[in-house]
Amino acid sequence: MSYNAGKFDVAVIGAGHAGTEAALASARLGCNTIIFTINNDAVGNCPCNPSIGGTAKGHLVREIDALGGEMGKTADECFLQMRMLNRGKGPAVHSLRAQIDRRKYADTMKHKIELQENLILRQAEITKLEKSNNGEWLLTTRMDALFTAKAVIIATGTYLGGRIYVGETSYESGPDGIFPAKFLGESLKNLGLSLRRFKTGTPARVLKSSIDFTELEVQNGDEPPVPFSYDTDNLGENKVVCHISWTNPKTKQIIQDNIHRSPLYAGKIDGIGPRYCPSIEDKIVRFANKERHQLFIEPCGLDTEEMYLQGMSSSLPEEVQTEFYKSIKGLENVVIMRPAYAIEYDCVDPIQMDSTLEFRDCPGLYGAGQFNGSSGYEEAAAQGLVAGINAALKIQGKEPFILDRASSYIGTLIDDLVTKGVSDPYRMMTSRSEYRLVLRQDNADVRLTPLGRELGLISDNRWEKYTEKQELKKQEYKRIKNTVFSPTDELNKILVSRETSEVNTGVRMLDLLKRPQINYECLTSIDTNRPNIDSNIFEQVEIEIKYEGYIQKQLEQVEKMRRLEKKKLPNDVDYSTVTGLRLEAQEKLNKVRPQNIGQASRISGVSPADISVLLIWLSR
């Protein structure tokens, strides 16, 4: 017999990276919020790699922070090592990655939730979700407690229908040995949601003292380390180093000899795995001509001896894992503390959602994170933030918050999910954005902090810091425009050393920085009036000067795209009645139900000719 346990504005199911951002955003916007988790000790858990950020993912973390989210700040508080990836490439793909203390990260995030006004953390499994006659949502727990909410955000991660696979062994479970969400899926199907099975995996955790580091390549962090959050003033020093090793022909042979025992190749796993983060056995099969694969040996925290073997996820039997891990340099005597495993889980087809992450046919119901078919902590947190914001805005009767592709990687991520759908776990990459020179991680605050302020997620102190920084940036641009260097021997020596032509007349600092070979750093000795300001300001100014022409071209493309986005499409149109549309376009448009012409143009199967037909139809 159920009992009434409380009424809330917003209920969040799941307290991983998506759920925590969703709940915090909703509560901070003034909504009475409750967040449910199967186990309170799993709040903010990092069940896979002990890191935040990485290629394109670092952009997402910066954007989350710029909007007032929590992931970047928490990563800074718990970092062990910071590295900027892709420094050898252009600024569009520079991405920050933090090695973190995974237990400290989870504990810190849990404490922030506990301290947050308007937010209750509740350990409970939601087994049933249904809508009442008055339009509110009814959530029933396994203990028969009945909660009522005006809006619900589903952020179940890999727990929904979770099943673990290790060789021939298979059992129902969520990650890290926590039981799965077994019953909720049936309610979601009854609501009309289309579910599918995806899978992901994780490597073994091994004992640090059983590793021989003497001949392994050391991977140091950047000095000084750069923070994720624009609120973080000083990170301190890096605390750990990571190491690199490689598989070899013996490793490959062991895996090939046992590939039939992998549940993935034995046909036991129906779920579709991540294309861009394959297991080691998948790598051996897919890249059969490659003799070796890289792995990174990374610490899981300062107060644990567990080490993470990045790049070596597997679902092979335990004894096979032990054998192939021991074939790798440095791991000859390795002791496994947690074996690698694959996990299969239920997720939803995101095409059923609008750009607010609300289900079109279930008003007040939102999805976020791996439940939406994405992979990765950062992708999850980004969606959670947007879902939490939109759930709160809807309850308050305000306009929805929608980020377009030209505003952010978050906008690109969500647009890809709801417009194109996913056939395998979606991972954000810089190549997914058409506007990546505009959407750099260094300018995330310029792009998004005003939006976060308008929402009410950016504090007065943070806003003051932001506006001061923008003023300093204007002053710095004016300074270098007016700074003229004489053609001295010292200047020409710098230019020659950088393999660029000498000067014989005075030259503006602005014009020198336009040269690809010249940067702020090499001009330090002659730039005697340089102000003592945030290095991020110099970085932004230099990038905008060097890439001015390219940035302008992208901004013109953005304006063209936004003109199409302004051409709204009715929600209730039956595209099969629009004369001139091809049959495939009619089917795709009726399934996705795009909100505007711009979104319609990005649907696979909708041609430019179809878009012309839609534009003519709209004009009539």
User: Do 97 and 52 meet the contact criterion of CB atoms below 8 Å apart?
Assistant: yes
Distance CA 407, CA 472 (A): 23
Q: Are strands 365-367 and 145-154 parallel, antiparallel or unpaired?
A: parallel
Q: Reduced to 3 states, what is the DSSP secondary structure of residue 498?
A: coil
Say if CB 110 and CB 116 are below 8 A apart: no
State whether 223 and 320 are in the same domain.
yes
Number of residues that this document lists for the chain: 620
Q: What does the alpha-carbon distance between residue 471 and residue 451 come to, in Å, rounded to a whole number?
A: 18
Q: Give the start-end residues of each E strand in 235-340.
A: 242-246, 294-299, 306-310, 336-338
- The reply to whether 332 and 391 lie within a common domain is no
Fill in the amino acid letter for 127: T
Residue 267: helix, strand or coil by DSSP? coil
Q: Tens digits of per-residue pLDDT, 416-436?
A: 999 999 989 999 999 999 999
Q: What is the pLDDT of residue 578?
A: 87
For residues 418 and 481, membership in a common domain is answered with no
pLDDT in tens, 184-203: 999 999 999 999 999 999 99
pLDDT of amino acid 401: 98
Please return the burial class of 343, using the count of CB atoms within 10 Å of its CB with bins 0-12, 13-18 and 19+.
buried
In sequence order, the β-bridge partners of residue 507 are: 485
> What confidence score (pLDDT) does residue 565 get?
85
Task: Note whether residue 418 is domain-resident.
Answer: yes
Pick the last residue of a domain from 407, 429, 455: 455
pLDDT recorded at residue 139: 98
- Where does a domain end: 343, 362, 379? 343
Q: What is the pLDDT of residue 276?
A: 66
What is the CATH classification number for the domain harbouring 538? 1.10.10.1800
Indicate which CATH number applies to the domain containing 60. 3.50.50.60
Distance of CA 437 to the CA centre of its chain: 18
In contact, 564 and 601? CB cutoff 8 Å: yes
Provide the domain limits for residue 547: 463-551
Using CA atoms, how far apart are residues 326 and 335, in angstroms rounded to an integer? 9
Question: CA geometry: angle at 161 spanning 156 and 167, to 5°?
Answer: 120
Question: In the numeric block, which tokens belong to residue 10?
Answer: 């917003």
- The verdict on 468 and 445 lying in the same domain is no
Evaluate whether residue 14 is within a structural domain: yes
Q: What pLDDT, on the 0 to 100 scale, is given for residue 354?
A: 95
Residue 557 lies in a domain: no
- CA 238 → CA 207, 223, 306, distances in Å? 22, 8, 19
Which residues in the chain come in under a pLDDT of 70?
273, 276
Does residue 441 sit in the same domain as residue 485?
Answer: no
Is there a domain that residue 375 lies in?
yes
Domain count, the chain: 4
